[in-house]
Amino acid sequence: MKLDSHVPVLVVGAGIMGAGIAQVAAQAGHPVRLFDAREGAAAEARGKLAATLDGLVARGRLEAAAAAATLGRIEPVATLEAAADAGIVVEAIVESLAAKQGLLRQLEALVGDGCVLASNTSSISVTALAQGLQHPGRVVGMHFFNPVPLMKLVEVVSGLQTEAAMAEAVFALAGRWGKVAVHARSTPGFIVNRIARPYYAEALALLQERAATPAVIDACLRGAGFRMGPCALMDLIGHDTNFSVTESVCAANFGDKRFAPSLVQRELVEGGLLGRKAGRGFFDYRAGVPAAAPVSAGRGEDLAALPPAARIVLHGQGLAVERWAAALEAAGRPGERRTESDWTGLEADGAQLRLTDGRPAGRVAAQLRMRDLALFDASLPPGGAPGSAVAWTAAASASAPWQAQAGAWLRAAGWQDQRVEDAAGLVVARTLAMLINEASDAVLQGVCSAPAADAAMKLGVNYPAGPFEWLAAWDATSVVRLLDHLDDHYRGERYRVSPALRQQAWLKEMTA
Ligand SMILES: NC(=O)c1ccc[n+]([C@@H]2O[C@H](COP(=O)([O-])OP(=O)(O)OC[C@H]3O[C@@H](n4cnc5c(N)ncnc54)[C@H](O)[C@@H]3O)[C@@H](O)[C@H]2O)c1
């Protein structure tokens, strides 16, 4: 079955999403009918679109003829009778199972054979939406992202009874509408809203432990390549919305603690500090209030300013070690290299600055019986650019001179060092490991393929890389070790390792 551009499309619900869906369908050449239960809403939406298109024409971004043609293809309709000749109906009404089921039943009585019933739901089970219909096989999730004309991703969601031909038709249609479609099986949060949970949850967990401020956490994740840190992003989404998505994913997973919402966020919701829209969330957006800055000791350290160590040894490999090697070489004090070492980092006269493996610095110091112990955070491509922020911490036993030197060594490697409390897995390492872990479970459970997960996270929430791209740049053994250390430290359900990831680590050990 093929939904060519001459096939009429009915969009039900002329709100933010429905208006956007009508626009992309019309731009692709379809005759579009737009219906809303609120009288006049569809015409208003068309009016707003006309103004948007006029603006694009005025700025030379769209031909006047193309704008007129797009608008000419959108017809506000007053009843659902327009469903009769539609090849596909896309509903974008209120997010309520009862309302959507009622609408689909009504539509089923009106549409012709073979018409696809697509839903833009972001959280309701597609299997549940189709329940009770004569032809449940024609119900498909078509999950767009806001703003629809700009966001490239569409999750094509199949419920238990969705016919493969219907899902394929929607997949191909999304492609013809200029989108990148990915297949997803109907499970809580589908792909993006599920895999993204740790991006928020790890920041909230760090805040609850008072390990770092929102500004520091955000700076570190921007340093890892994210366009927005998690705290600023939650402020943008709105804490009420973000909290309720987390609650619904957690409840839909029978209260699995892995998805547990945070007290820190509930407090913001209860206090009405909902984020940008309220003028305050983690950050203060009221006029005249200066933006919160992370506290950094500075950047760009001259190695010559560091006290000379009699013996510097570089352990393992990776971005930090390579930068230290180059800086030491340039300063005429090349260090010893131990690339085969079982840890990564720097040793200066016996004191150590190690890449985190998920154990808190205090624990590593106790296990090694080493007082002067500090840890720094992971950097995976495309993150770690010179000048970007990196988190580090020191064991409580570390001497004041070594604490000062640890930050200075990171600055010598070109980073802006951000001191945080001794939290297991620091900031970036634990966040990326948990994103990889969640994506691994999603693939294991047949929710999506690994390439679909990567595409979905890059296009649906603008991640700088996909979870499996990070995994390829890191390695399964290190990720599993880090998660096991977090699991051991916190002893809850949150950090349990995906069986798929563990299998990969074993395979790697066999072939090493
Ligand atoms: N806003 C987002 O960022 C976003 C992103 C992805 C998916 N979604 C999903 O898209 C859907 C719509 O969201 P929105 O943000 O556009 O909401 P919205 O409130 O802007 O628009 C919903 C529209 O549906 C109309 N409506 C309500 N019940 C109706 C019914 N029974 N029949 C016809 N019209 C009805 C309302 O009058 C309103 O105009 C929801 O399922 C939501 O979960 C939203």
pLDDT at 310: 78
**CATH code for the domain in which residue 264 is found:** 1.10.1040.50
Q: Are strands 351-355 and 32-35 parallel, antiparallel or unpaired?
A: unpaired
pLDDT at 318: 93
DSSP sequence for 434-477:
HHHHHHHHHHHTTS--HHHHHHHHHHHS--SS-HHHHHHHS-HH
Residue 122 has pLDDT above 90, yes or no: yes
User: Ligand 1 centre from 14 Cα, in Å?
Assistant: 7
Ligand 1 pocket, residues with Cβ under 6 angstroms: 12-18, 36-38, 41, 92-95, 99, 103, 120-122, 144, 146
Q: What is the pLDDT of residues 190-247, one digit of tens each?
A: 999 999 999 999 999 999 999 999 999 999 999 999 999 999 999 999 999 999 999 9
**One domain for residues 399 and 432:** no
**One domain for residues 30 and 131:** yes
Residue 183 has pLDDT above 60, yes or no: yes
Of 156, 186, 216, which residue constitutes the final position of a domain?
Answer: 186
CB 250 within 8 A of CB 197: no
- Band (pLDDT 50/70/90 cuts) for residue 299 is low
User: By alpha-carbon position, which residue is closest to atom 2 of ligand 1?
Assistant: 146
Residue 307 has pLDDT above 80, yes or no: no
Q: What is the pLDDT of residues 409-446, one digit of tens each?
A: 999 999 999 999 999 999 999 999 999 999 999 999 99
**One domain for residues 28 and 162:** yes
Of 186, 208, 236, which residue constitutes the final position of a domain?
Answer: 186
**One domain for residues 350 and 245:** no
User: By alpha-carbon position, which residue is closest to atom 21 of ligand 1?
Assistant: 15
- Band (pLDDT 50/70/90 cuts) for residue 300 is low
In a domain, 330, yes or no: yes
**One domain for residues 145 and 30:** yes
User: Ligand 1 centre from 106 Cα, in Å?
Assistant: 17
In a domain, 297, yes or no: no
**One domain for residues 34 and 149:** yes
**One domain for residues 136 and 27:** yes
In a domain, 4, yes or no: no
**One domain for residues 392 and 438:** no
Atom of ligand 1 nearest to the CA of 144: 6
Which domain does 272 fall in, by range? 191-291+427-512
The overall average pLDDT reported for the chain is 95
In a domain, 139, yes or no: yes
User: Ligand 1 centre from 13 Cα, in Å?
Assistant: 6
Q: Is 374 helix (H, G, I), strand (E, B) or coil?
A: strand
CA distance 131 to 370: 62
pLDDT at 367: 98
pLDDT at 298: 55
User: By alpha-carbon position, which residue is closest to atom 12 of ligand 1?
Assistant: 92
**One domain for residues 152 and 171:** yes
In a domain, 31, yes or no: yes
Residue 318 CB-density burial (10 A; 0-12 exposed, 13-18 middle, 19+ buried): middle
In a domain, 178, yes or no: yes
User: By alpha-carbon position, which residue is closest to atom 37 of ligand 1?
Assistant: 38
Residue 35 CB-density burial (10 A; 0-12 exposed, 13-18 middle, 19+ buried): buried
User: Ligand 1 centre from 239 Cα, in Å?
Assistant: 19
pLDDT at 309: 77
Pocket test for ligand 1, best of 12, 48, 93 (most atoms within 8 A of CB): 93
Residue 296 has pLDDT above 70, yes or no: no
Q: What percent of the chain has pLDDT over 70?
A: 98
**One domain for residues 70 and 210:** no
- What total of structural domains would you count in the chain? 3
User: By alpha-carbon position, which residue is closest to atom 10 of ligand 1?
Assistant: 92
pLDDT at 492: 87
User: By alpha-carbon position, which residue is closest to atom 38 of ligand 1?
Assistant: 15
**One domain for residues 168 and 196:** no
DSSP sequence for 263-292:
HHHHHHHHTT--BGGGTBSSSB-STTPPPP
**CATH code for the domain in which residue 413 is found:** 3.30.750.190
Pocket test for ligand 1, best of 10, 34, 35, 36 (most atoms within 8 A of CB): 36
User: Ligand 1 centre from 17 Cα, in Å?
Assistant: 6
**One domain for residues 136 and 278:** no
Pocket test for ligand 1, best of 11, 12, 17 (most atoms within 8 A of CB): 17
pLDDT at 410: 94
Residue 483 has pLDDT above 90, yes or no: yes
Residue 467 CB-density burial (10 A; 0-12 exposed, 13-18 middle, 19+ buried): buried
Residues with a catalytic annotation lie at: 143
pLDDT at 459: 98
In a domain, 3, yes or no: no
Q: What is the pLDDT of residues 325-372, one digit of tens each?
A: 999 998 888 889 999 999 999 999 989 999 999 999 999 999 999 999
User: Ligand 1 centre from 268 Cα, in Å?
Assistant: 25
In a domain, 2, yes or no: no
Of 186, 217, 244, which residue constitutes the final position of a domain?
Answer: 186
